[in-house]
């Protein structure tokens, strides 16, 4: 029985794809290796969003090949996911020892291809072709596969993106928007809940565009809101989240959904990218600073405790000091709980890569640093304001960093650590926040129960 190890780079969509591939391989008789060193097959599930992520996966592959050669060990190695899709054949031209390159619409063929390679029937396989209905193939889970019970699960609802932001490679790696059907998604969610899952996060590259073609507006509600309502009906499900949305998808129907659907957690990760209207236009984002501020205001009016996080790119081509100051001021105005900051990275074949005024690395670096300071300062203030408050968390399991502690999340998606035990897993629990760490809260159940 061959063993496989999958290493994942990048976003939650990639994590989910890796899980689905692992589940598929397990169903076909493969076992999951605890480490790459002893695996018969190693797959790198790659990310293309920034050059850095691509280089990391390429270097990892070189190391794997070198180690296997030194140890005179035969190991089947492959790339899958976004970089596999965007670079395809080029990867095996550069690294001829790579056995498999599997594109983003081909995850469901992993077992078939690996079987052929392991049996010596095929030497090397590169498959990055488009495949109709591939969006419906990411559905297998490794539920409770390990000794742990899964409390929280991710469900892929759509693939691709038609927004074509000028900096972004995703439309080229993930293709056009394709949505699964509502009954198909609900059936998957039901199965997960029957297996003990309490919280579901709906995933896609631009979830607010879910079902645009197949589910027209109904009572003023978008396809995405129709999906949220359908998932909300599932008995036993406690919490619903989603990622990633686009600001243009925050119409009143979605804002009202937060107020109307109690299982929909009051937390939103809304990618801002820039606070400057001029840059937003160059990025082809389709909203203004004012519109973004209005969304944040409406969400806070609907749910005053909503947790807001965002993604921001610094050093986009032509970004002036004034443009950057607009981003800083918008962050101060919105007061995000946290923001993921990215230094602009040229992606080939994207319009922004050939725009004039590409900025030197030092400026990108320096703005990254300044924005990080601002974001951290605001974040710390917001986290500190939790001290003394009572929150409800869903307990996920032992903390990865310190197994003596247990971890859960508040509805607004803040991580809370407390002294818990296995019996708390999957429970909704009230805690009082006693202190804060870096983007974590520490809670005590005893104080609540006094
Ligand atoms: N350079 C830097 N950051 C990028 N992102 C997407 N493309 C690029 C790029 N070319 C960031 C965006 C997006 C997040 C997932 O990655 O902020 O929201």
87-124: pLDDT as tens digits: 999 999 999 999 999 999 999 999 999 999 999 999 99
Q: How far is Cα 346 from Cα 307, in angstroms, rounded to an integer?
A: 31
Q: Whose alpha carbon is nearest atom 16 of ligand 1?
A: 49
Tokens representing 85 are 């899709």
Share of the chain above pLDDT 70, in %: 98
Which is nearest to 192 in space by CA: 245, 241, 244, 149? Answer: 149
| Mean pLDDT of all residues belonging to the chain | 96
Contact 316 CB / ligand 1 (< 6 Å): no
User: Would you call 168 helix, strand, or coil by DSSP?
Assistant: coil
- Residue 269: beta bridge partners? 309
Q: Whose alpha carbon is nearest atom 7 of ligand 1?
A: 168
- Residue 410: beta bridge partners? 393
Q: Give yes or no for residue 333 having a pLDDT over 70.
A: yes
Mean pLDDT score, 171-189: 97
In ligand 1, the atom with minimum distance to the C-alpha of 311 is: 17
Contact 161 CB / ligand 1 (< 6 Å): no
Which residue out of 83, 168, 316, 364 has the highest number of ligand 1 atoms within 8 Å of its CB and is therefore the one to mutate? Answer: 168
Contact 243 CB / ligand 1 (< 6 Å): no
Q: 203-233 pLDDT, tens per residue?
A: 999 999 999 999 999 999 999 999 999 999 9
Enumerate residues 6+ apart whose C-beta is below 8 A from 211.
Answer: 158, 179, 182, 222, 223, 224, 226, 227
DSSP 218: B
Contact 168 CB / ligand 1 (< 6 Å): yes
Confidence of residue 25 (pLDDT cuts 50, 70, 90): very high
Phi, psi of 61 (to 5 degrees): -60, -45
In the chain, what is the greatest distance between 2 CA atoms, to the nearest angstrom? 67
Contact 274 CB / ligand 1 (< 6 Å): no
CA 313–ligand 1 middle distance (angstroms): 6
Contact 108 CB / ligand 1 (< 6 Å): no
What confidence score (pLDDT) does residue 145 get? Answer: 58
Which residue out of 161, 166, 167 has the highest number of ligand 1 atoms within 8 Å of its CB and is therefore the one to mutate? Answer: 167
H or E, element range at 396: strand 390-398
What confidence score (pLDDT) does residue 403 get? Answer: 82
What pTM, to 2 d.p., does this model score?
A: 0.96
CA 314–ligand 1 middle distance (angstroms): 10
- Residue 428: beta bridge partners? 394
Q: Give yes or no for residue 146 having a pLDDT over 60.
A: no
CA 49–ligand 1 middle distance (angstroms): 6
DSSP 215: S
Contact 49 CB / ligand 1 (< 6 Å): yes
Which residue out of 282, 342, 368 has the highest number of ligand 1 atoms within 8 Å of its CB and is therefore the one to mutate? Answer: 342
Query: How much is the CA Rg of the chain, to the nearest whole Å?
Result: 22
In ligand 1, the atom with minimum distance to the C-alpha of 168 is: 7
Q: Is the dihedral of CA 259, 435, 336, 205 positive or negative?
A: negative
Contact 271 CB / ligand 1 (< 6 Å): yes
CA distances from 425 to 364, 413, 422 (A): 43, 17, 6
DSSP 208: G
Mean pLDDT score, 428-445: 93
What confidence score (pLDDT) does residue 402 get? Answer: 85
Enumerate residues 6+ apart whose C-beta is below 8 A from 364.
Answer: 314, 315, 343, 344
Contact 272 CB / ligand 1 (< 6 Å): no
Say how many residues make up the chain: 450
166-168-169-172 Cα dihedral, nearest 10 degrees: -60
Burial (CB < 10 A; 0-12, 13-18, 19+), residue 337, is: buried
Q: How far is Cα 333 from Cα 378, in angstroms, rounded to an integer?
A: 10
Mean pLDDT score, 405-431: 95
Mean pLDDT score, 349-371: 98
Q: What angle do CA 188, 220, 228 make, to 5 degrees?
A: 20
Enumerate residues 6+ apart whose C-beta is below 8 A from 412.
Answer: 265, 266, 267, 305, 306, 307, 337
CA 14–ligand 1 middle distance (angstroms): 15
Mean pLDDT score, 157-181: 97
Mean pLDDT score, 167-172: 97
Enumerate residues 6+ apart whose C-beta is below 8 A from 352.
Answer: 166, 167, 282, 283, 316, 317, 344, 346
DSSP 335-346: T-SEEEEEE---
Q: Give yes or no for residue 295 having a pLDDT over 80.
A: yes
Which is nearest to 394 in space by CA: 374, 413, 378? Answer: 413
Q: Give yes or no for residue 450 having a pLDDT over 90.
A: no
Enumerate residues 6+ apart whose C-beta is below 8 A from 222.
Answer: 208, 210, 211, 212, 215, 249, 251, 253, 254
In ligand 1, the atom with minimum distance to the C-alpha of 11 is: 15
Which is nearest to 312 in space by CA: 387, 391, 370, 398? Answer: 370
Q: How far is Cα 315 from Cα 108, in angstroms, rounded to an integer?
A: 38
What confidence score (pLDDT) does residue 149 get? Answer: 72
Tokens representing 374 are 């601002």
């Amino acid at each position: 029985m061959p063993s496989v190890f999958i290493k994942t780079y990048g976003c939650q969509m990639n994590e989910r794809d890796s899980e689905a591939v692992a589940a598929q391989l397990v169903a076909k008789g493969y076992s999951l290796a605890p480490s790459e060193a002893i695996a018969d097959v190693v797959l790198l599930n790659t990310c293309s969003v920034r050059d850095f992520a691509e280089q990391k996966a390429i270097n990892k592959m070189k190391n794997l090949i070198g180690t296997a050669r030194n140890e005179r060990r035969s190991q089947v190695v492959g790339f899958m996911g976004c970089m596999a899709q965007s670079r395809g054949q080029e990867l095996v031209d550069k690294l001829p020892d790579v056995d498999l390159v599997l594109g983003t619409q081909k995850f469901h063929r992993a077992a078939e291809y690996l079987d052929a390679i392991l049996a010596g029937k095929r030497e090397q396989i590169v498959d990055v072709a488009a495949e109709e209905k591939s969006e419906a193939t990411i559905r297998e889970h490794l539920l409770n596969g390990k000794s742990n019970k899964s409390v929280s699960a991710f469900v892929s609802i759509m693939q691709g993106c038609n927004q074509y932001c000028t900096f972004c490679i995703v439309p080229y790696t993930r293709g056009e928007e394709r949505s699964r059907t509502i009954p198909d998604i609900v059936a998957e969610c039901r199965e997960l809940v029957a297996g003990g899952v309490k919280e579901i996060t709906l995933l896609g590259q631009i979830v607010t565009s879910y079902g645009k073609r197949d589910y027209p507006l109904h009572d003023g509600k978008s396809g995405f809101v129709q999906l949220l309502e359908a998932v909300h009906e599932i008995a036993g499900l406690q919490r619903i989240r989603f990622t990633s949305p686009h600001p243009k998808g925050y119409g009143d129907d979605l804002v009202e959904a937060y107020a109307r659907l109690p299982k929909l957690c009051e937390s939103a990760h809304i990618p801002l990218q820039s606070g400057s209207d001029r840059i937003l236009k160059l990025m082809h984002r389709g909203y203004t600073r004012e519109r973004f501020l209005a969304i944040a205001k409406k969400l806070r009016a609907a749910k005053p405790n909503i947790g807001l996080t965002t993604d921001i790119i610094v050093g986009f081509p032509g970004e002036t000091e004034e443009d950057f100051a607009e981003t800083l001021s918008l962050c101060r105005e919105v007061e995000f709980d946290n923001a993921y900051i990215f230094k602009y990275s040229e992606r080939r074949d994207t319009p922004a890569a050939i725009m004039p005024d590409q900025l030197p690395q030092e400026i990108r670096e320096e703005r990254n640093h300044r924005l990080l300071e601002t974001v951290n300062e605001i974040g710390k203030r917001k986290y500190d304001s939790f001290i003394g408050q009572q929150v409800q968390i869903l307990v996920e399991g032992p903390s990865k960093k310190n197994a003596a502690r247990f971890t859960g999340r508040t509805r607004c998606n803040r991580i809370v650590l407390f002294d818990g035990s296995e019996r708390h897993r999957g429970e909704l629990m009230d805690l009082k926040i006693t202190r804060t760490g870096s983007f974590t809260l520490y809670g005590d159940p005893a104080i609540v129960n006094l």
